[in-house]
Chains A and B, each alone.
Chain A
Amino acid sequence: MFETVLVANRGEIARRVIRSIQRAGARAVAVYSEADAGLPYVHEADEAVLLGAAPPAESYLDVTKVIEAAKQTGAQAIHPGYGFLAENAAFAQAVADAGMTWIGPSPDCIRSMGDKISARNLMAAAGVPVAAGTPEPVGEVDVAVSEAARIGYPVMVKASAGGGGIGMSVAHDEAGLRSAFETARTRAERFFGNPAILLERYLPNARHVEVQILGLADGRVVALGERDCSVQRRHQKVAEESPSPGVSPVLRARMLAAAVKAGEAVGYRNAGTVECLVSGEDFVFLEMNTRLQVEHPVTEMVTGLDLVDAQLRIAAGEDVAFDPDTISVTGHAIELRVYAEDPKRFLPSPGAISVWTEPSGEGVRVDAGYAKGTTVTPFYDPLLAKLCVWGADRDEALARARTAVAGFEVVGPKTNLPFFLELLADEGFVSGRYDTGLIDTMRAPKPG
């Protein structure tokens, strides 16, 4: 195991990763921007290095500064968390070039999966089902129009290098496609520095279900069950659960087998996620995330495993601390992403936190990035905390979630906690029969 590990991230995920590093007996180094000096993760780390000013380009995205901080503190490995540099192949390579270990898959793997078109083509070649779509980047709107005619409307327009739902939209006809294409291209260029656009057949009423995989140090790839991430606003996840209430045992077995095959096809090492769309008993590959996911706690709660600990051991070339042949899923877990945003329109709401009271109790886990007296600034994403609950079955998890949400008090920024009370009372969510259109349905004007 490593003696010192640097965490190249902030907020709740930095704090959560630091916890596992320390539990493994290693020293954890945090990095932070001027805006984040007061956050809990900075104080809980064994050492913390100031990177620079608040804008991500001057702090968390500055590869040179992060590597310098690792050298300065004697770190042998870097954990990237999610977001920021986590799926940056050049950064992973720079870490290796500096003589340190990257806690994640190889730069080649990140590169081939980071490009959605190359990932689609690789997966199709490996026998994993993919949706009808464009086999190469589309640069001209007229090409997009003719491709859409071939694929069939509605189509999803997205940035090939993209993520986080940015620039993604659905086009139902040619006029819609022309405007969606321009928007997607502008955003792809601005956010990802790459204007390549991908069109894919859009499946309405689909569920977003993903499989957690682990590529072990000995080369084996194992699947750790699935997560349902269909509760989304602006194509971004808000709540997740495991197991998925919409996946039958037969479908689950097929999806897990396909995810293992996907991992094996690219020689995957470390933790990764194979995202799929599910419609009825069919599924198609969406993308592979070559990092730890925000929603990994639901998998940890139903499997009893520590995924960050597994990541550390795999990166160190060691065996994981459990028997990979006997992974089993027990009970049901739900994660609610508590965001600093208003609960109606979901618009961001930064501000100083004057009251912060976390719920506790049996089966309740809170991964929080903030605390009383800290300030939510407009520079980073709005995630304040992840409220996770486990129950022996889905009903018990739902009941515990309702109590936990009611017991979570935040004063200062507006939060989406009131939305979760609505969600946990919504017939569609409670029944388990919901899809990615759930929030739009909840927000639609009621007839009469």
Chain B
Amino acid sequence: MAEEVRAEMVANVWKVLVAAGDTVEDGDTLVILESMKMEIPVIAEASGTVAELRVNEGDVVQEGDIIAILE
């Protein structure tokens, strides 16, 4: 089942730590966002494979935007 990982707030994408096709474990950090001088890690909430990665470093994401899709 596909799981959509969404941004919880408006932020800049500081670091992208995974690529499409990577296998990730529950709790792994996928992307690090930066907002209001704070780094916010975006964590996989289930184990699986990164089916799609929709952001690049330097992008601005809005609250609710899809960051990645896990399968």
List chain A positions with a Cβ less than 8 A from chain B: 164, 166, 234, 340-341, 347-351, 377-382
Report chain A residues within 8 Å CB of B11.
348, 378
B35 at the interface (CB under 8 A from A): yes
Nearest 10 Cβ contacts at the A-B interface: A348-B36, A378-B35, A382-B36, A348-B35, A378-B10, A350-B10, A381-B37, A348-B38, A378-B11, A378-B36
Report chain B residues within 8 Å CB of A349.
9
Report chain B residues within 8 Å CB of A234.
38
Helix, strand, loop or mixed for chain A's interface?
loop
Report chain A residues within 8 Å CB of B10.
350-351, 377-378
B40 at the interface (CB under 8 A from A): yes
* Count class of interface residues, chain B: 10 to 19
Report chain B residues within 8 Å CB of A341.
36
Bound-complex Cα distance A348 to B61 (A): 14
Nearest Cβ on chain A to B41's Cβ, whole angstroms: 11
Q: A350 near B36 (CB under 8 angstroms)?
A: yes
Nearest residue in B to A413 (C-beta to C-beta)? B9
List chain B positions with a Cβ less than 8 A from chain A: 8-12, 35-38, 40, 60
Bound-complex Cα distance A361 to B60 (A): 41
Bound-complex Cα distance A347 to B11 (A): 11
Bound-complex Cα distance A336 to B11 (A): 25
- 7 more CB-based (< 8 A) A-B contacts, given A348-B35, A381-B37: A341-B36, A348-B9, A350-B36, A378-B36, A379-B36, A380-B37, A381-B36
Q: List 15 A-B contacts (CB under 8 A).
A: A166-B37, A234-B38, A340-B36, A347-B8, A347-B9, A347-B38, A348-B36, A348-B38, A350-B36, A377-B10, A378-B12, A378-B60, A380-B37, A381-B36, A382-B37
Nearest Cβ on chain A to B43's Cβ, whole angstroms: 13
Report chain A residues within 8 Å CB of B37.
164, 166, 380-382
Nearest Cβ on chain B to A417's Cβ, whole angstroms: 17
Nearest residue in B to A382 (C-beta to C-beta)? B36
Report chain A residues within 8 Å CB of B40.
347-348
Which of A164, A166, A350 is within 8 Å of B35, CB to CB? Answer: A350
Nearest residue in A to B8 (C-beta to C-beta)? A347
Bound-complex Cα distance A49 to B9 (A): 30
Nearest Cβ on chain A to B56's Cβ, whole angstroms: 17
Report chain B residues within 8 Å CB of A348.
9, 11, 35-36, 38, 40
Report chain B residues within 8 Å CB of A379.
36
Bound-complex Cα distance A204 to B55 (A): 40
Nearest Cβ on chain B to A99's Cβ, whole angstroms: 33
